[in-house]
Chain A
């Protein structure tokens, strides 16, 4: 199996007033291609920070992250953006759809950024997959939370990412809708053969993945495979 994400001796701190706040301490782990992977931990444990760093959304203080075979510390902001556009997909807790774009336009954006001429067609078929073809011309504010997250799923898979990061994907949804969204996420992931990294504090959700990494106070406290 090939490694798609590899973290070595990662450290991260933030300035908090006059003090320096150490968020992550000497983090080391790796994710294999097509694996489903969960990062769990209580609030404030540093899991979202870790996700941001893995996806190249923030700068590393110390250590190294290799994503899809590329060392992130060697890339400029624009190169990081290109990397995300070509190889990474995202699903966020609060959906993060562009409010001024319709559902289909939101899904098409990553493809359009690639210069893909069939962006709209592909976006349409993805919306169909998530069961929202009848809502494709609606703006995010006209959709329910569950629908918004389904659009976000379609967008996340639109660029055929090698790896997909999901930050508390059910955090803003009721239990029933959350369950449906997770089912859809795993189905699409299996169908398209994407690596899935989920950040969550929901152990039930984590147990659906093949690999669980638990962090507490910025340190890894356990790293185990679930056997799925």
Chain B
């Protein structure tokens, strides 16, 4: 008997074959690559940007604070606090408050944040001024540094003067940037820095004014700031003071962008999932088409392993290439973010290319393509070379175990990926669970749909209608795969749309319900009448005059604040115990409030225990409900109260809202100050009234909401822009997925259409059959996807974004018909070649 040698052409031949085959299939591989590239680009850009943002915040947190840690309070420090601070060694001090500033040589006035700063500050970062020397000179020469934008707005120059309260100081420099000034607050009340010792002379430090006292500390290299925070802060909290380290500042800044970050991660997850669906549908048909070639190769002597490896190498290379392209696109996109987010971020972003994220992008690309390709690729192992002689369907029974293994690997991959994005295994599990359930439901919908059509088949319908229906359940039908792809694509896009709405709704400014657009703060009780007269003399209305009394919680249901603090098991929120509440009294509810529980008491009638109303978030954080008793310390006088009602307050409204509201008849004689509101028609009137008020009542601060509203609106527009931008990006991936999914059915349909054409079917009959079939699939897939996304968005709103969900009509009104139409158009485009060209030509062209 003769001996056989085993054929071993080597790895280079496999590479050569993979390359030759891929080169000729470029067109078909493009969709496959596009899915990976877009998915990876979204992931890389979002991850890389997020990493950069975090690094930058951490790096710049010291310069943002100007020191290693601070102790601050909104009243002069108590003896105990002074003792603690002395033991730590104060390095610098600051007293700050918001006030109106006038400019003697100019007509304008401006609401500013006055910061009296001691020598030495800042210890990190710098006071950026023009001229540079002004950063030091203002201390020696008793001058002021004024925000550069204000200088520009009011057309002022260095050398002009500024009047703050009772003192007038020369402006020594324009202030470009200073530690401790945030851009958003800075836009409302731009900073003016003066020497610490001059603060007292402004005469603006009066009872009731909102004054902030801040002490700056520089720590030794070896100081453990977290430990210091843990040890000192509880002692300070008892004295109503607070220690902040630069580490917690960076954490807080990070948190401010948490929901935004969550959304971007959701975008990344969805973009990648869409990419996976795209890959799955594109590669499935691609490999199926290769099975015949595999049979030929086996016939010519290629082994199982060789024919399998040729396509595995091809797919791995495509994944690698797409990973690189996706990463490059992601990095380019990343550079777009700071431009889009200018003014919104707390720090200046110095972008760097994160090799970790790029490497992750490339690995993701390879994993995505290999894992999803493995599913159809195992089929090549079981292709019989006999297929070259006859058409033979694979039973696939041999590969069931392998397919199960691959499915487990895919789920594991998706889980690990979502964990990498979200760093929370519970979220990741629920995300994956949600996607799997969605898959199962969609598959169920498709199966039920098919069996219903079969059972109640309308035999009396016309040939065209019957044929289009038959296409849905005949052998080799595409109903399941298309409904899955269309359904899951629509589901993800629609979920993204709903959650985008969720996030934007949270940030939307409702400024239509308030007629007041100017707020006067810190009006003393004895000034109210005259201030009102001044306003009315200018033909302006006094819309509100809200009395405000400051108080602290003394005890809750008989337990003193100190007792609660010492009780380590207490879950009452700390801010309730130390916060100085600004409380008002009135006899009716305002537009932004509604009673949730209990009864609204308009007036207290000589009762010993005062019936009050608290906001639901106060009730939640203080763990109290209707009927519970809270005692308040009103500047030395203890007042026993009982919660008569809890109110739902819409804090998002631009309105003066309160956590605690007393009834009339109790606080009228307590020391208080007032907030008054009016409405000014235009900028000129606003400037006039501000000048008069500042001149006569220097302690009164004026907030021109028209300016604030436009600034906030600008910021919100930026946020919505970037959210829309990223959502659009994912939707683009979704459309490519749809294109891929519908095109996969092209090769199944084309032969049949050609056959119909050959036996005499007219163009419009072929088109009608195709159109009806794709309409059925489009309607069913997209509607199921949107309905399922309603559930997922509800869960997201509840679990991830912690907000209420009001579904928008857009997915129903635009996505549903839009996607159905898209499916229809792509489907009809598939059939157009059949109609335009002779049957044989079509068959030959489609064979490659």
Are A98 and B297 neighbours in the complex by a CB distance under 8 Å?
yes
Q: Which of B9, B23, B293 contacts A115 (CB 8 A)?
A: B9
Are A115 and B389 neighbours in the complex by a CB distance under 8 Å?
no
Q: How far is the CB of B752 from chain A (nearest CB, A)?
A: 19
Q: Say yes or no: is A69 at the interface (Cβ < 8 Å to chain B).
A: yes
Contacts of B758 in A (CB 8 A): none
Are A57 and B384 neighbours in the complex by a CB distance under 8 Å?
yes
Q: How far is the CB of B567 from chain A (nearest CB, A)?
A: 75
Encoded as 1 (CB less than 8 Å from any B CB) or 0, chain A from 131 to 152 comes to 0000000011100000000000
Are B296 and A98 neighbours in the complex by a CB distance under 8 Å?
yes
Are A98 and B293 neighbours in the complex by a CB distance under 8 Å?
yes
Contacts of A100 in B (CB 8 A): 20-21, 23-25, 293, 848
Q: Say yes or no: is A110 at the interface (Cβ < 8 Å to chain B).
A: yes
Are A57 and B4 neighbours in the complex by a CB distance under 8 Å?
no
Are A101 and B24 neighbours in the complex by a CB distance under 8 Å?
yes
Contacts of B848 in A (CB 8 A): 99-100, 139-141
Contacts of A97 in B (CB 8 A): 296
Task: Tell me whether A48 and B389 are in contact in the complex, defined as CB-CB below 8 angstroms, given that A98-B297, A99-B293, A100-B293 are known contacts.
Answer: yes
Are A57 and B10 neighbours in the complex by a CB distance under 8 Å?
no
Contacts of B302 in A (CB 8 A): 81, 85, 113
Are A115 and B8 neighbours in the complex by a CB distance under 8 Å?
yes
Are B300 and A82 neighbours in the complex by a CB distance under 8 Å?
no
Q: Say yes or no: is B844 at the interface (Cβ < 8 Å to chain A).
A: yes
Interface of chain B residues 296 through 350 with chain A (CB within 8 A) = 296-306
Interface of chain B residues 382 through 410 with chain A (CB within 8 A) = 384-386, 388-390
Q: How far is the CB of B794 from chain A (nearest CB, A)?
A: 48
Q: Say yes or no: is A79 at the interface (Cβ < 8 Å to chain B).
A: yes
Are B9 and A70 neighbours in the complex by a CB distance under 8 Å?
no
Question: How many residues belonging to A are interface residues under a CB distance threshold of 8 Å?
Answer: 42
A93 to chain B: closest residue by CB: B389
Contacts of B296 in A (CB 8 A): 96-98
Interface of chain A residues 40 through 66 with chain B (CB within 8 A) = 48, 51-52, 55, 57-58
Q: How far is the CB of B393 from chain A (nearest CB, A)?
A: 12
Task: Tell me whether A57 and B304 are in contact in the complex, defined as CB-CB below 8 angstroms, given that A70-B4, A99-B847, A101-B20 are known contacts.
Answer: no
Q: Say yes or no: is B426 at the interface (Cβ < 8 Å to chain A).
A: no
Contacts of B684 in A (CB 8 A): none
Are A58 and B300 neighbours in the complex by a CB distance under 8 Å?
no
Task: Tell me whether A71 and B1 are in contact in the complex, defined as CB-CB below 8 angstroms, given that A78-B304, A81-B302, A139-B24 are known contacts.
Answer: yes
Q: Say yes or no: is A34 at the interface (Cβ < 8 Å to chain B).
A: no
Question: How many residues belonging to B are interface residues under a CB distance threshold of 8 Å?
Answer: 40
Are A96 and B299 neighbours in the complex by a CB distance under 8 Å?
yes
Q: Say yes or no: is A11 at the interface (Cβ < 8 Å to chain B).
A: no
Q: Which of B5, B297, B386 contacts A82 (CB 8 A)?
A: B5
Q: How far is the CB of A50 from chain B (nearest CB, A)?
A: 11
Interface of chain A residues 95 through 111 with chain B (CB within 8 A) = 96-102, 105, 109-110
Interface of chain B residues 272 through 313 with chain A (CB within 8 A) = 292-293, 296-306
Q: Say yes or no: is A90 at the interface (Cβ < 8 Å to chain B).
A: yes
Q: Which of B17, B299, B389, B847 contacts A84 (CB 8 A)?
A: B299
CA distance in complex: A78, B304 (Å): 7
CA distance in complex: A68, B386 (Å): 20
Are B24 and A99 neighbours in the complex by a CB distance under 8 Å?
yes
Task: Tell me whether A68 and B2 are in contact in the complex, defined as CB-CB below 8 angstroms, given that A77-B304, A90-B300, A100-B848 are known contacts.
Answer: yes
Q: Say yes or no: is B13 at the interface (Cβ < 8 Å to chain A).
A: yes
Q: How far is the CB of B14 from chain A (nearest CB, A)?
A: 10
Are B9 and A113 neighbours in the complex by a CB distance under 8 Å?
yes
Q: Say yes or no: is B607 at the interface (Cβ < 8 Å to chain A).
A: no
Q: Say yes or no: is B476 at the interface (Cβ < 8 Å to chain A).
A: no
Q: Say yes or no: is A167 at the interface (Cβ < 8 Å to chain B).
A: yes
Are A113 and B304 neighbours in the complex by a CB distance under 8 Å?
no
B306 to chain A: closest residue by CB: A113
Among B9, B24, B389, B845, max chain A CB count under 10 A is at: B389
Q: Say yes or no: is B606 at the interface (Cβ < 8 Å to chain A).
A: no
CA distance in complex: A183, B3 (Å): 34
Contacts of A113 in B (CB 8 A): 7, 9, 13, 300-302, 306
Apart from the given pairs A90-B388, A99-B847, A113-B306, 4 other A-B contacts in the complex at a CB distance below 8 Å: A57-B299, A85-B302, A99-B848, A141-B844
What residues of chain B have their CB less than 8 Å away from a CB belonging to chain A?
Answer: 1-2, 4-10, 13, 16-17, 20-21, 23-25, 292-293, 296-306, 384-386, 388-390, 844-845, 847-848
Question: Can you name 27 A-B pairs with beta carbons within 8 Å?
Answer: A57-B385, A57-B388, A68-B2, A70-B2, A81-B7, A81-B301, A82-B7, A83-B301, A84-B299, A90-B299, A90-B388, A96-B292, A96-B388, A99-B24, A100-B20, A100-B24, A100-B25, A102-B20, A110-B301, A113-B9, A113-B301, A113-B306, A114-B7, A115-B7, A115-B13, A140-B847, A141-B848
